[in-house]
C-alpha cells in the first residue's frame, strides 16, 4: 500500500511536470503557426477514408493554444454535423450540435458550450468521429490531457468496444513525447493528426 502511494505520487508529480512543459511548448507557437497547422490538419482530415461516411463529428472549443478547429468545421457538408462537448455533473461529457450563431454558455472552466436542453444532447457512443484535444502524445497512441479525465471517463467503453467513434487526437508536432506515464483507465487514440503527418495506432 505504501509503495502504491509512492508510485502514484511520483506519477502525479511527473504528469504535472509534463503538463507544464508541453503547455509552454504549445503556447510558444505564434498565431500564424497555429493557423497554418490548423489548415494542414484540416487537409489531412478530409483526405482520410474514415472521414467520408461520418455523421456526428465532435470537436472542441480551442483554448490555451490548442489547435483551432474552425477551418475543419467550415469544410463540413451535410449530412455531417459539428458537435461540441458539454461537461456533465458526473464529470463525463455529452455532446450537442453547434453552428456559429447558436447560443453558448460558459462552463465552470470558462469554456463555451452549446446552450441546449439535456434532451438535445448526444451520448459519446452516438458520435462517428471525436477530435480529441491533448497536451502531449506518443507514437503508440497514449495521450496526456489536462488532468480532468473527462475524455477517459466518457469513452471508457472504447477500451473494450471497437469503433465508432473514431478517436482522433489533434495536436502540433511539437507536442510529441518519447514516452508518457500511463494508467489502466487511459483510453488510447485510434489516430493522431498533426501538421506534418497522420499516425494510425
Query: Where in the chain are the domains?
Result: 2-200
60-79: burial string, b at 16+ Cβ within 10 Å, e else: bbbeebbbbbebbbeebeee
User: pTM (2 decimals)?
Assistant: 0.89
Share of the chain above pLDDT 90, in %: 66
Kindly report the backbone phi and psi dihedral angles of residue 29, in degrees, each rounded to the nearest multiple of 5, phi listed first.
-70, 145
At 43-86, the pLDDT tens digits run 988 787 667 677 899 999 999 999 999 888 888 887 889 999 99
At 40 the three-state DSSP class reads helix
Q: Place 4 in a pLDDT band, splitting at 50, 70 and 90.
A: very low
CA 184 to mean position of chain CA atoms:
19
Q: So what's the pLDDT on residue 2?
A: 37
Better-scored residue on pLDDT, 122 or 15: 122
Residue 141, classed as helix, strand or coil, is coil
Q: What is the CATH code for 2-200?
A: 3.40.50.10420
Band of residue 6 on the pLDDT scale cut at 50, 70, 90: very low
Average pLDDT over residues 157-180: 93
- Cα–Cα distance between 32 and 189 in angstroms, integer? 27
**Highest mean pLDDT: which of 11-15, 33-37, 74-78, 146-150?**
33-37
- 191, 201 in Cβ contact below 8 A? yes
**3-state DSSP: the chain helix, strand, coil percent, rounded to 5?**
35, 20, 45
pLDDT value, residue 5: 39
d(CA 108, CA 196): 34
Say what the pLDDT of residue 52 is.
Answer: 67
pLDDT, average across residues 128-147: 93
Alpha-carbon gap, residue 86 to 84, rounded angstroms: 7
Strand ordering across the sheet containing 81-87: 93-97, 81-87, 56-58, 129-132, 166-170, 191-193, 198-200
What pLDDT is attached to residue 9? Answer: 45
What mean pLDDT is reported for the chain?
Answer: 89
Residue 100: pLDDT over 50: yes
| Per-residue confidence (pLDDT) for residue 12, from 0 to 100 | 80
Say if residues 180 and 123 touch (Cβ distance below 8 Å).
no
Amino acid at each position: 500500500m505504501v509503495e502504491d502511494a509512492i508510485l502514484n505520487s511520483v506519477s502525479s508529480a511527473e504528469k504535472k511536470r509534463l503538463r507544464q512543459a508541453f503547455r509552454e511548448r504549445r503556447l510558444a507557437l505564434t498565431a500564424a503557426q497555429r493557423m497554418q497547422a490548423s489548415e494542414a490538419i484540416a487537409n489531412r482530415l478530409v483526405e482520410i477514408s474514415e472521414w467520408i461516411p461520418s455523421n456526428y463529428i465532435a470537436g472542441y472549443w480551442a483554448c490555451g493554444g490548442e489547435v483551432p478547429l474552425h477551418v475543419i468545421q467550415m469544410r463540413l457538408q451535410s449530412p455531417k454535423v459539428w458537435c461540441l462537448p458539454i461537461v456533465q455533473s458526473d464529470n463525463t461529457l455529452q455532446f450537442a450540435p453547434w453552428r456559429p450563431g447558436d447560443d453558448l454558455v460558459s462552463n465552470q472552466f470558462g469554456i463555451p458550450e452549446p446552450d441546449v436542453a439535456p434532451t438535445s444532447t448526444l451520448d459519446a457512443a452516438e458520435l462517428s468521429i471525436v477530435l480529441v484535444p491533448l497536451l502531449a502524445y506518443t507514437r503508440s497512441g497514449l495521450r496526456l490531457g489536462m488532468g480532468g479525465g473527462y475524455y477517459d471517463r466518457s469513452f471508457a467503453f472504447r477500451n473494450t468496444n471497437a469503433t465508432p467513434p473514431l478517436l482522433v487526437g489533434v495536436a502540433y508536432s511539437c507536442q510529441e513525447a518519447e514516452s508518457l506515464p500511463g494508467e489502466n483507465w487511459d483510453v488510447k487514440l485510434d489516430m493522431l493528426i498533426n501538421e506534418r503527418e497522420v499516425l494510425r495506432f
